Amino acid sequence: MSEKKRALEGVRVLDLSNVLAGPFCATVLGEFGADVVKVELPGKGDTMRTFGTMTATGATLNWLSEARNKRCITLDLRKPAGLLIAKRLVAQSDIVVENFTTGTLEGWGLGYEDMKKVNPEVILVRITAYGQTGPYNDRPGFARIAHGFAGLAHLAGEPDGPPVIPGSTSLADYISGLYGALGALIAYIGRQRHGVGQTIDIGLYEGVFRMLDEMAAAYAKSGYVRQRMGADTVNVVPHSHYRTRDDKWIALACTNDRMWQRLCKAMDRLDLLAADKYATMAQRLAERDRVNGIVADYVGSMDRDALLAHCLHHEVPAGPINNIADIFQDPQFAARQNLVEVFDPREGRVVVPNVLPKLSETPGELRWLGPDMGQHNDEIYRGELGISAEEIERLKREGII
């Protein structure tokens, strides 16, 4: 790794955010070499420290993984002395990330206009529940709320069941964090070309909504409201999940007639390709349940691994429905180094998802896991801001750091 360059070397990111969407944005930038300074409230810290499986570090696995590569300081932005220090940090930063409720930073005297007074070219990433504008802009929110508001939860679940969360994960937070990182990089390139800073304004629900394929266009065109379909897909059949004989599950995708022909050959059911049967997608869509039943019966007649090998032989797109134990045993995950083992002196062996995307010449890297609260106070306050040891002690006594 030593011979490789870091793409964002020399870029300073000030992470004022909490929990996941904003912090994940900063984490992505830090994985590619940005110097990320994470600010936490003294004595409390980021909520992610206590959310999840606790470790010997006194923080959770969530924190160790998602606060990777950051330098952590404590600072109370709500107090005048803390605000002054925050402005000094802003002055040294290229990108600032925040996800407070709309108007919070302005109330403390640290809004974008305040930041520009000390750093005219600063880039500010703002991730809130509903964005900085609109009638809901001051409402709080979390990923679950965003999934519902954006239309995703309405689609998740069985047709006769309640809307569900699409997996027990904070998908909206991660998507918003990625859009935040993308926006920050676009703004950084824009600043290099045009010499101006700017804000990136993201509502937590917006990234999820952006990924709902043709739903908006279909409704505008015909008033069509897509409903829950379980594992099925609206415009394609068969394109679902099926149980194998050994009580495992596979995902199978026949997105066009050509792939359906391959599946029929694999099933030894060429009769299904007759003109009066299911040769075309329109015919299969009209008989969705019947087609799914035929495929389900076939899949259920074989064990998973033998079935997947048979599908591969016939060039039928299919794959396993993995749980996390399967993933740890899968040779593809190993070959791609999607999991990385890190030794942490406080916790020992920790395995976390590796950095994405993979770059050939300036790859990202995991340099360390989430630090202790205030671990880098002296390094930053004394070493970089030049605050004396006596002043640091006073700031500690007053609860400012």
Residues serving a catalytic function are: 173
Cβ-count burial 232-271 (b if 16+ within 10 Å, e if not): bebebbbbbebebeeebebebbbeeeebbbbbbebbeeee
DSSP 271: G
Cis peptide bond upstream of 353, omega within 30: no
DSSP 371: P
Spell out the alpha helix ranges (H) of 242-330.
257-267, 281-286, 288-299, 304-313, 324-329
Q: At what angle do helices 171-194 and 21-31 cross, to 10 degrees?
A: 50
Of 8, 185, 4, 18, give the one whose Cα is nearest residue 98.
18
Q: At what angle do helices 171-194 and 143-150 cross, to 10 degrees?
A: 90
Q: Pairing relation of β-strands 239-243 and 249-253?
A: antiparallel
Distance (Å, whole) CA 232 – CA 253: 10
Contact 70, 46 (CB under 8 A): no
| CA dihedral for 69, 43, 25, 338, sign (positive or negative) | positive
Contact 113, 34 (CB under 8 A): no
Of 8, 39, 20, give the one whose Cα is nearest residue 380.
39
C-alpha to C-alpha distances, 257 to 28, 95, 116, 264, 283, nearest whole angstrom? 40, 49, 57, 10, 11
Q: Which structure tokens are listed for 352?
A: 């976390």
Contact 370, 12 (CB under 8 A): no
